[in-house]
Amino acid sequence: QVQLVESGGGLVQAGGSLRLSCTASGLTFDDYTMGWFRQAPGKEREGVSRIKWSGVSTYYADSVKGRFTISRDTAKNTLYLQMNSLTPEDTAMYYCAASRFWRSGYSPVTDFKYWGQGTQVTVSS
């Protein structure tokens, strides 16, 4: 049974930082593109960042470029998202997801087969 478990969310002031983690089990971590998505109340789920199974290729949404950094630790089967210079617009539920696909551009949520339960990030102004 595949499980993706996120952690690291919380309440932070604008300009602050958080580091999200996602620990995977039940799958061969190295075979999957791993991604972070977020969903704010009343909005669609959007892709934030993803990293190819090799770890060499990454993608960032324009809204987070230069502020967020995705990484993966194969030995720990763990995905990370370092989030700096947070703004209230970053407030959302953040989800970890796994996909057998890699796309250099837009990658819809339907590409991702496995999902975590999410971790809440709230940025106060």
Q: Determine whether 122 is exposed, middle or buried from the number of CB atoms within 10 Å of its CB (0-12, 13-18, 19+).
A: middle
pLDDT of 69-117, one tens digit each? 999 999 999 999 999 999 999 999 999 999 999 998 888 999 999 999 9
List the structure tokens of 71.
Answer: 């990484």
Q: Give me the amino acid identity at 57.
A: S
**Over the Cα atoms of the chain, what is R_g?**
13
- Please name which of 90, 39, 35 lies closest in space to residue 63, comparing C-alpha atoms: 90
pLDDT of 10-56, one tens digit each? 999 999 999 999 999 999 999 999 999 999 999 999 999 999 998 88
Contact, 48 vs 67, CB < 8 A?
A: no
